């Protein structure tokens, strides 16, 4: 019996799941499908080359003589080819370059620790005991660190939320980021022909874009736009708008400024759906310089490859899941629905369905299509195939809206901790800075020396409405961190990444 058992073990096939790493099998399949065209063309080229090598000088002379007798045909054919080539190069979209960008880093006096946040909330005296405990619970699980920033007006006791202080915060953020950007690029303010500013909740008159025009004395024929009420994904809407404007305005620079303003938009009521925003949003902003000048390619960091915008506002549930309104005591705040994560998931699904065919290799598209046909046509009970976006992108900048959002996207897109690191560290270090968070994340990736020439970066953000927007960038050169002096991370990048605990207890001053 022992001998028979031994013989069965010897004749049994090995476990291929253990002997072969499936990820390498998948990688081999990916390269095979992606390079299938080249593999098929190679034999044709070899045969053609072999045939051409048999031609003699006499054959070439005979061919030339035939062309001389068909001069009219050759001339017409050449003219047509030149015309079509000219038409193609004149009609194709202009290439859009990201020359550089800069993120605002507030002064250390504006640092708001978790303990400071809880203490300020308690000292205001407008929150119930239950809601103070609720905010403390949120902040302990938020993923925010001890060095996020609050505007000066809200750090005072008592707070002083007024129009003058809100303008002061806006000027500090916008001008701080723009000053750094102009210093990095050497571009003069007078050279900027397009200006797009986005801030969802603070929309004064004159507008934020007018404040920039006035401060930097921009030229009178500047194309100026101010986007309001479009949520945390408005930064990518601004990029898309600037791209459209650059397509029809040759030889131009476009300045995009993304920010949020907290001073007038902190909620002083007791509706819990509005208190979450208080705990997550922090002070920050970014300025981005785009160009359509071919001469700027050599000094630019990135080229804009794709922008994809998804709007689910036609659905009432999506439209109402992030809503600014008054509570029962007429206190204004932004209410977050319990359906937010489900709505974000649906918007993401629509967005990546559009983006996928533009960026995914043929191997992934083939697997996705095969699975879809098997499920929809043949009604096979198999899981829907989730494309591997890691084959399309080297870097991911996911809006740091909160820990729950990042956890969900990490799981659904099957990303690693390394891919999520820029988003998690940005949430930890700067908090949710709304539409500008994507740029703090890209700045983190640069500071870590991860950007290499040819790398592709996917920026993805969610916003009220409900919207999900994407932008795809291709690195035109490798980024040397040693040369990135104006970067909000550079003076402390050695401290990151840090381990972010699931629960970071807030120790009150009384208990300490």
Per-block mean pLDDT, blocks of 10 residues, the chain (512 long): 48 45 54 62 76 74 69 71 68 88 97 95 93 96 96 94 96 98 96 97 96 97 96 96 97 97 94 94 97 96 97 95 94 93 92 88 81 79 80 96 93 94 98 97 98 98 95 97 93 96 81 43
Task: Name the pairing type of β-strands 148-149 and 111-112.
Answer: antiparallel
The pLDDT, as a whole number, for residue 67 is 65
pTM: 0.85
- Residue 180's pLDDT is 97
Q: Which pLDDT value is given to residue 511?
A: 45
H/E stretch holding 44 reads helix 36-52
Hey, is 437 helix, strand or coil?
helix
Residues annotated catalytic, as ranges: 232, 311, 395, 399, 432
The beta strands (E) that lie in 220-301 are given as 223-227, 253-259, 285-291
pLDDT at 3: 52
> CA 126 to CA 129: how far, in whole Å?
10
pLDDT at 380: 82
Model pLDDT, residue 474:
98
Residues 6+ apart with CB under 8 A from 232: 200, 260, 399, 401, 432, 434, 435, 437, 461, 462, 463, 464
Strand (E) or helix (H) holding 28: helix 22-34
What is the structure's pLDDT at 89?
A: 60
Q: What is the pLDDT of residue 106?
A: 97
Checking DSSP bridges between strand 332-336 and strand 96-103, what pairing results, if any?
Answer: unpaired
């Amino acid at each position: 019996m022992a001998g028979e058992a031994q013989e069965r073990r010897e004749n049994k096939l090995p476990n291929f799941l253990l002997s072969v790493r499936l990820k390498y099998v998948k990688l081999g399949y990916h390269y095979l499908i992606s390079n299938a065209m080249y593999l098929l063309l190679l034999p044709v080229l070899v045969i053609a080359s072999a045939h051409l090598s048999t031609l003699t000088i006499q054959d070439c002379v005979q061919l030339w003589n035939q062309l001389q007798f068909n001069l009219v045909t050759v001339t017409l054919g050449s003219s047509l080819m030149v015309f079509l080539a000219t038409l193609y190069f004149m009609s194709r979209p202009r290439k859009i370059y990201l020359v550089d960008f800069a993120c605002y880093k507030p002064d250390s006096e504006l640092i708001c620790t978790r303990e400071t946040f809880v203490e300020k909330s308690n000292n205001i005296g407008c929150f119930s005991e239950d809601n103070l405990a609720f905010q403390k619970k949120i902040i302990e699980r938020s993923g925010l660190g001890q060095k996020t920033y609050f505007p000066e007006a809200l750090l005072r006791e008592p707070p002083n939320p007024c129009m003058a202080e809100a303008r002061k915060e806006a000027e500090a953020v916008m001008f701080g980021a723009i000053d750094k950007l102009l210093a990095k690029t050497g571009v003069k303010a007078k050279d900027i022909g397009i200006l797009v500013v986005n801030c969802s909740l603070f929309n004064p008159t004159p507008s934020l874009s007018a404040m920039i025009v006035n401060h930097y004395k921009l030229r009178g024929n500047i194309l100026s736009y101010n986007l309001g009420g479009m949520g945390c994904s408005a930064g990518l809407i601004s990029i898309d708008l600037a791209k459209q404007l650059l397509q029809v305005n040759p030889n131009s620079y476009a300045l995009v400024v993304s920010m949020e303003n907290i001073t007038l938009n902190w909620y002083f009521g007791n509706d819990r759906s509005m208190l979450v925003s208080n705990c997550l949003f922090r002070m920050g902003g970014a300025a981005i310089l785009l160009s359509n000048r071919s001469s700027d390619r050599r000094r630019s960091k990135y080229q804009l490859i794709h922008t994809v915008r998804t709007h689910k506002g036609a659905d009432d549930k999506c439209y109402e899941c992030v809503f600014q309104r008054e509570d029962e005591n007429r206190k204004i705040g932004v209410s977050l629905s319990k359906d937010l994560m489900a709505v974000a998931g649906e918007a993401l699904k629509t967005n990546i369905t559009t983006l996928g065919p533009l960026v995914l290799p043929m191997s992934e598209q083939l697997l996705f299509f095969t699975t879809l046909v098997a499920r929809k046509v043949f009604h096979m009970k198999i899981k829907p195939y989730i494309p591997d976006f890691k084959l399309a992108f080297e870097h991911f900048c996911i809006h740091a809206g909160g820990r729950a959002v990042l956890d969900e996207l990490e799981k659904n897109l099957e990303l690693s901790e390394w891919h999520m690191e820029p988003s998690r560290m940005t949430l930890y270090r700067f908090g949710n800075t709304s539409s500008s968070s994507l740029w703090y994340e890209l700045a983190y990736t640069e500071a870590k020396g991860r950007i290499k020439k040819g790398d592709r970066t996917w920026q993805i953000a969610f916003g009220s409405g409900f919207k999900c927007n994407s932008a795809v960038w291709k690195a035109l050169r490798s980024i040397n961190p040693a040369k990135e002096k104006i970067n909000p991370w550079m003076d402390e990048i050695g401290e990151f990444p840090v381990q972010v605990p699931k629960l970071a207890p807030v120790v009150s001053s009384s208990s300490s």
